[in-house]
A and B are shown apart, each in its own frame.
Chain A
Amino acid sequence: MRKRLLDFLDVRLGIRDILEQNLTKYLLPRNVNIWYTLGAVLLTLFSLQFVTGILLLVYYVPNPDEAFKSIETIMNDVPYGWLIRYLHAVGSNVIVIVLLLHMLSVLFMGSYKKPREFTWVSGFILFNLALALCLTGYLLPWSQLSFWATTVATEAAGAVPVIGDGLVRFLRGGAMVGNATLGRFFALHVMVLPAGLAALIGFHLFCVRRIGISKPPFGEEYVPTEVKDKFVHEEHPGGIPFFPNYAIKDLAVISFFLGLLVVLVFFAPGLFIPPAAFEPADPFTTPAHIKPEWYFLWAYQTLKIFPSEFLGLASQGAVMALLALLPFLDRGRERRPARRPLFVTCYLLGILLFAAISIWGHYS
């Protein structure tokens, strides 16, 4: 049966050739490491978000009068609704963790360098789109946490000179977070951002496949390759086939992260969903100590450190621009961490600074 199906597809699409070129004859460097599996983990987690998001859409009502009640219904009345919602909400946090690990590993191994600038830039935009999805999704339950976290987050845009107030009104659809804000955040969260994300994931994977997997810059046999001014697909003759040799490693790490997600969903959802997320939004009562989600704490605290919010916002913009343009600024061929002491020092200090400012933001 399987052979007949393959024959049928092979005659019409040359499926055997496609499978060979992309699976069994697609060779990866022999020393390819576990960090290379994070892309597959992210693809799985994004797919899970897509599926759970569609299931949530069946019962969710994007209206301030109904939104919280519909979430309550999902959590209490819909069979396994609580599981679907927790997988979606907690899953988004796990995605941010894996995205950070993926980016950090690419930075450490210098895989963003020429000729992989497009892969890096598209990945960096994907990271920002994922954060935008988190921000817009945060408002949808219309809880106290949603309402006030969104109020604080959108208020930050007011620090932009000249257009700040207009920008806040544009984001909110009015002076205050309300019906119009929920409408536009919902449209962005379920349509605009996922469509952009899907297109960009496609482009990112195309770049990865087209230019070829980079060789990990470790081991005595590693020598920096000379990058020519014409397109060259990086081959790895004598490497290991993607399927089954490396795909099984992908599966191992995917299973590990799914296991971690299940542990968080069943045993510690409160790490990411605090009690204020289960109280309906009340525009007249500001909860004490309202804080953004952990991955926005660095930005929240930066706004408070500088003497003016504009300077805080400008410094955030500068850091993000530096990261986005890194492949165009760091043009050396060397990728071995041991031979890039300045970069590795900045890299470690950057991680420490991010963690310190986030912790400071949490306790401030």
Chain B
Amino acid sequence: MMTLMVRNIGALIVVFLLTGSGFSAALAAESVCLQCHAGLEGRLAAPVAAWDSSIHAQNGISCPDCHGGDPTDFAMAMDPERGFVGVPEHGEIPEFCGRCHVGVKEDYFDSGHGRALHSGGPQCVTCHGNHAVQTASLALINREDCSRCHEYGRAEEIKAAMLDTDRLLAGIQSDLDGLAKTGIRVREMEGETFALRNDFHRLFHTVDVERVREQTAAFQQRGGEIRTEIEAVQEELTTRKLLGAGAAGLLFLVSVICFLIRKTYRDEE
């Protein structure tokens, strides 16, 4: 129950961050970090362009949100007294990212990857990159990247087990976007899908194939319920179109009949 509550609160925080993103992005554009680093060269300038293309930038998560410091003061921007943390060491990265991604951090430390952290195992940046971080997707599990550290076999099995659910969720999101554009209220279904996708993404960090298979079935069921709701709405929209076609056809028929009657009058005139 407690875990569920923590997850919901986490989801609410993310929703809040997303909805306030436009405002935050506007503030980010004004931060002294970006202004200064954009004018530098090489390694020190690279994070600006990389961050600009990231999911963090899209959601208004900017430099001080991760690195601390004062984004309004050039002189004190990187002062530890203003909370500046700078670049974390390899072993500190999961804690660094986990300040926001609480659930993911738990899953990571539960996994084989997490347990191997201090013996040179992978951390968040190994798979997700740093400043150019993108939306987590199954594309991150691929032969090229996984083979850098181990055989691809088990990773491939995990990916195959999650693929259907991933497609189901992508399809649901696409349909919901389409419905929202026609004025259908989908907020509740979007919330359910958002929570479901978050829960599903937490599974991405496990390396236990059996656990993935077992939990994927539960996600499929939850996704199926949302899909049924969407199909009911789509059916209603199809019915509306049939009614519309009938009404329009009737009106055009009346129009034609009236023109024919007018023709008979003209013959008499």
CA distance A127 to B66 in the complex (A): 57
Does B127 sit at the interface, judged by CB under 8 A? no
Does A244 sit at the interface, judged by CB under 8 A? yes
Residues on A with C-beta less than 8 A from B251 are: 255-256, 258-259, 262
Does B153 sit at the interface, judged by CB under 8 A? no
CB-based contact B269/A256 at 8 Å: no
- Report how many A-B pairs have Cβ atoms within 8 Å: 80
Does A22 sit at the interface, judged by CB under 8 A? no
Residues on A with C-beta less than 8 A from B241 are: 266-267
Least Cβ–Cβ distance between A266 and chain B, in angstroms: 3
CA distance A72 to B247 in the complex (A): 25
Knowing A76-B184, A252-B258, A259-B255, the reply to whether A266 touches B269 (Cβ < 8 A) is no
CB-based contact B248/A263 at 8 Å: yes
CB-based contact A245/B262 at 8 Å: yes
User: B237-269: which have CB < 8 Å to A?
Assistant: 240-241, 243-245, 247-249, 251-252, 254-256, 258-259, 261-262, 265, 269
> What are the interface flags for A56-82 relative to B under an 8 Å C-beta threshold, 1 for contact and 0 otherwise?
000000000000000010011000001
Residues on B with C-beta less than 8 A from A285 are: 22-23
Residues on A with C-beta less than 8 A from B269 are: 30, 240, 245
Least Cβ–Cβ distance between B92 and chain A, in angstroms: 35
From B94-102, B112-120, B175-183, the one touching the partner chain is: B175-183
Does B26 sit at the interface, judged by CB under 8 A? yes
Does B185 sit at the interface, judged by CB under 8 A? yes
Knowing A245-B262, A248-B265, A259-B248, the reply to whether A270 touches B255 (Cβ < 8 A) is no
Residues on A with C-beta less than 8 A from B180 are: 275, 278
Range for the number of chain B residues in contact with chain A: 20 to 34
Least Cβ–Cβ distance between B78 and chain A, in angstroms: 29
Does A291 sit at the interface, judged by CB under 8 A? no
Least Cβ–Cβ distance between B148 and chain A, in angstroms: 39
CA distance A72 to B180 in the complex (A): 11
CA distance A344 to B241 in the complex (A): 42
CB-based contact A75/B185 at 8 Å: yes
> What are the interface flags for A281-320 relative to B under an 8 Å C-beta threshold, 1 for contact and 0 otherwise?
0101100000000000000000000000000000000000
Partner of B265, one of A244, A270, A275, A278: A244
Q: Chain A: which residue is nearest B177 at the CB level?
A: A275
Does A249 sit at the interface, judged by CB under 8 A? yes
Partner of B244, one of A72, A256, A262, A275: A262
Knowing A244-B265, A259-B252, the reply to whether A249 touches B182 (Cβ < 8 A) is no
Chain A residues in the interface with B (C-beta under 8 A): 30, 72, 75-76, 82, 240, 244-245, 248-249, 251-253, 255-256, 258-260, 262-263, 265-267, 269-270, 273, 275, 277-278, 282, 284-285
Q: Name 27 interchain pairs, CB-CB below 8 A, sorted by A.
A: A72-B183, A75-B183, A75-B184, A244-B265, A248-B261, A249-B258, A252-B255, A252-B256, A252-B262, A255-B254, A255-B255, A256-B252, A256-B255, A259-B248, A259-B252, A262-B247, A262-B248, A265-B244, A266-B240, A266-B244, A266-B245, A269-B182, A275-B181, A278-B183, A284-B22, A284-B26, A285-B22
